[in-house]
Amino acid sequence: MGIQQVDDGKHGALKLFEGEALAGEMAYTWAGDSMLIIDHTDVNEAFRGQGVGRKLLDELIVFVRERQVKVIPLCPFSKSVFDKDSSIRDVLKE
């Protein structure tokens, strides 16, 4: 599985591929230069239950930590992961 990121400065997404198949996608919107909002996470039905959503979120966390960006998780999936895992909450907008 490989993750690709697209970002046009206003919107972005992390896309996880298994071969040619899109396994999942996490989309975000920039809110200024130092904050982004996770809009939604979508996992292809064929890849559900394989940790695709978490892999995408983990990649996003690496991205925002490197850039010292804060996150607002509006997506229900990402919000639930932040609620359960205190080790990643350092990236949340307070």
State the total domains in the chain.
Answer: 1
| Alpha-carbon torsion, ordered 59, 64, 66, 69, to 10 deg | 180
Strand partners, 21: 18
Residue 69: CATH number of its domain: 3.40.630.30
- Please give the C-alpha separations between residue 36 and each of 2, 12, 71, in angstroms, as whole numbers: 23, 9, 5
pLDDT band for position 94 (50/70/90)?
confident
38-93: pLDDT as tens digits = 999 999 999 999 999 999 999 999 999 999 999 999 999 999 999 999 999 999 99
- Determine the structural domain holding residue 61 and report its residue range: 2-91
